[in-house]
């Protein structure tokens, strides 16, 4: 059932434990669902309640701590963890106004004699709230709580061969999903019907492999609202002339390949046409800078040089490391393609380069997801890099 064999999970654990040793961490509490999946193979929509992995230095297997409902029938049956590595709190802890699941976690830490140790937590993860921190701090007064945020994420940044294969599959699904968008975007179509076509293609996948839910739903900002890149859709009908920026991802076994393309319903304005051409030229230049030895900021610099020729400046980053993830983000929160990011590119790092151009009355977004190869880059999807005109 698991997408990787046990040795890959053990190898990942070893890399994380090496980081723990380097940072003088005795125990690591992992709440990021992507990190939990990466290390335990745990894949379920149970992250809406408090759950985590406990990683120590002397055990190759992490311990899952979570809700009883998810623990034994779920974790033990679907991950490489055995039942000795599962601890579960009773259901009255769930969304309780009188007690907190982290109180239970403190008890587990005491039982394992970790309560006077140096314990790292993922301080800025969605699934490690302020209340979780405060409960743990109160429950473990003799522990030293330190920041282990994105520690595992940085281990994830270079993908294994097996992970790359899953991302290539995700790229194939992204092609199908984007084709569904291009096919259905037309004057008179309801936005929700276009979104439904995209979802259908994303989840069906291909005849050979199925689709998984991407960590972000299709984003379809259009017309004047296209300047706001994170809008979703309504049930309004598209008018005769409008530009729609489509951002979506293919996803397979939680691995993503995001893609943005822009579709003009009706003839685009001169300006939109020009912006699209500049975007493609800039994106191509960025991709040419994507090779081992260069840095993340080199990729952004190549883009910046192109748009500067045309008198355009763009404030925001143009991409980020990505791969395995869960809602609400497919980005890994490690390397970003922006000035100042001196992360050195290495083979099998994987990025989404999305230099969105957002203006007051329209937006153009054309992107590629790719891996760094031995001497350059390889995109996960193969889809025309242009403004589509319907």
Q: What residues numbered 70-89 form the site for a second copy, per CB under 8 A?
A: 70, 73-74, 77-78
Q: How far apart are CA 312 and CA 323, in angstroms?
A: 30
Rank residues 210 and 384 by Cβ distance to a second copy and give the closer one.
210
By C-beta, is 17 or 202 nearer to a second copy? 202
177: its two tokens: 């999903």
Q: How far apart are CA 308 and CA 223, in angstroms?
A: 25
- CB burial of residue 309 (10 Å; 0-12, 13-18, 19+): exposed
Rounded to a whole number of angstroms, the CA Rg of the chain reads 22
Contact set for a second copy, span 271-310 (CB under 8 A): none
Closer residue to a second copy (CB): 25 or 201 = 201
Q: Which of residues 100-119 bind a second copy (CB under 8 A)?
A: 100
Binds a second copy (CB under 8 A): choice among 5, 24, 48, 267 = 48
Torsion over CA: 337, 339, 342, 346 (sign)? positive
Q: Is 338 in the site for a second copy (CB under 8 A)?
A: yes
Q: What is the DSSP-derived secondary structure letter of residue 72?
A: I
CA dihedral 309, 314, 317, 323 (to 10 degrees): -80
Query: Smallest distance from the beta carbon of 73 to a second copy, in angstroms?
Result: 3
Nearer to a second copy, 31 or 369 (CB): 31
Q: Would you say 191 or 257 has its CB closer to a second copy?
A: 191
Query: How near is the Cβ of 339 to a second copy at its closest, in Å?
Result: 8
Residue number with CB closer to a second copy (4 or 213): 213
Q: Are residues 173 and 206 in contact, defined by beta-carbon separation less than 8 angstroms?
A: yes
Give the largest Cα separation in the chain, rounded.
Answer: 68
DSSP-H helix ranges across 289-380: 296-309
| Shortest Cβ 281–a second copy spacing (Å) | 22
| Residue 374 Cβ vs a second copy, minimum distance, rounded to whole Å | 28
Assess 342 for contact with a second copy (CB under 8 A): no
Site for a second copy in 318-337 (CB under 8 A): 320, 327-329, 331, 333, 336
Contact 337, 296 (CB under 8 A): yes
CB of 106 vs a second copy, minimal distance in Å: 15
Q: Which residues pair with 370 in a beta bridge?
A: 351, 379
- Considering only the stretches 68-76, 157-165, 266-274, 285-293, report the one whose residues sit in contact with a second copy under the rule CB under 8 A: 68-76
Number of amino acids touching a second copy (CB under 8 A): 84
Cβ neighbours of residue 227 closer than 8 Å, sequence gap 6 or more: 221, 358, 359, 360, 361, 362, 363
Residues 206-265 that bind a second copy (CB under 8 A): 209-213, 216-217, 219, 224-225, 227-235
State the Cα–Cα distance between residues 61 and 345, nearest whole angstrom. Answer: 30
Of 11, 45, 83, 309, the residue at the interface with a second copy (CB under 8 A) is 45
Minimum CB separation of residue 198 from a second copy in Å reads 8
Contacts (Cβ under 8 Å, ≥6 apart) of 254: 34, 37, 43, 212, 324, 325, 326
C-beta of residue 58 within 8 angstroms of C-beta of residue 9: no
Minimum gap (Å) between residue 384 Cβ and a second copy: 25
Site residues for a second copy, 118-157, by CB under 8 A, read 121, 123-134, 147, 149-150
Asked if 4 touches a second copy (CB under 8 A), the answer is no
Beta bridge partners of 52: 65
Which of positions 170-199 make contact with a second copy (CB under 8 A)? 190-193, 195-197, 199
């Amino acid at each position: 059932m698991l997408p990787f064999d046990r040795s890959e999970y053990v190898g990942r654990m070893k890399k994380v434990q090496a980081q723990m040793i380097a940072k003088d961490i005795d125990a690591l509490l992992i709440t990021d669902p992507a990190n939990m999946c990466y290390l335990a193979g745990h894949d379920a929509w149970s992250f809406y309640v408090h759950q985590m992995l406990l990683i120590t230095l002397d055990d190759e297997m992490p311990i899952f701590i979570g809700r009883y409902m998810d623990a034994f029938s779920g974790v033990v049956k679907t991950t490489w963890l055995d039942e000795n590595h599962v601890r579960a709190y009773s259901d009255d802890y769930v969304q309780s106004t009188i007690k907190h699941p982290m109180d239970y976690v403190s008890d587990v830490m005491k039982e394992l004699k970790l309560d006077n140790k140096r314990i790292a937590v993922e301080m800025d993860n969605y699934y490690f709230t302020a209340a979780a921190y405060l409960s743990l701090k109160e429950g473990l007064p003799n522990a030293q709580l330190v920041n282990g945020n994105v520690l595992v994420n940085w281990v994830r940044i270079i993908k294994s061969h097996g992970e790359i294969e899953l991302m290539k599959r995700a790229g194939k699904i992204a092609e199908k999903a984007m084709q569904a968008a291009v096919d259905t975007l037309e004057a008179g179509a309801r936005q929700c019907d276009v979104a439904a076509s995209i979802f259908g293609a994303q989840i069906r996948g291909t005849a050979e492999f199925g689709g998984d839910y991407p960590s972000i739903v299709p984003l379809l900002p259009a017309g004047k609202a296209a300047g706001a890149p994170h809008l979703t859709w309504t049930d309004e009908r598209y008018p005769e002339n409008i530009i729609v920026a489509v951002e979506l991802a293919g996803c397979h076994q939680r691995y993503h390949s995001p893609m943005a393309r822009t579709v003009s319903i009706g003839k685009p304005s001169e300006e939109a046409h020009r912006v699209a051409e500049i975007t493609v030229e800039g994106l191509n230049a960025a991709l040419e800078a994507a090779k081992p030895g260069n840095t993340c900021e080199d990729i952004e610099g190549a883009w910046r040089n192109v748009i500067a020729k045309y008198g355009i400046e763009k404030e925001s980053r143009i991409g980020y490391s990505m791969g395995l993830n869960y809602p609400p983000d497919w980005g890994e929160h490690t390397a970003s393609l922006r000035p100042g990011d001196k992360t050195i590119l290495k083979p099998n790092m994987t990025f989404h380069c999305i230099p969105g151009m957002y203006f007051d009355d329209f937006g153009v977004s054309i992107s590629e997801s790719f891996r760094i190869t031995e001497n350059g880059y390889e995109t996960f999807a193969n889809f025309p890099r242009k403004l589509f005109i319907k």
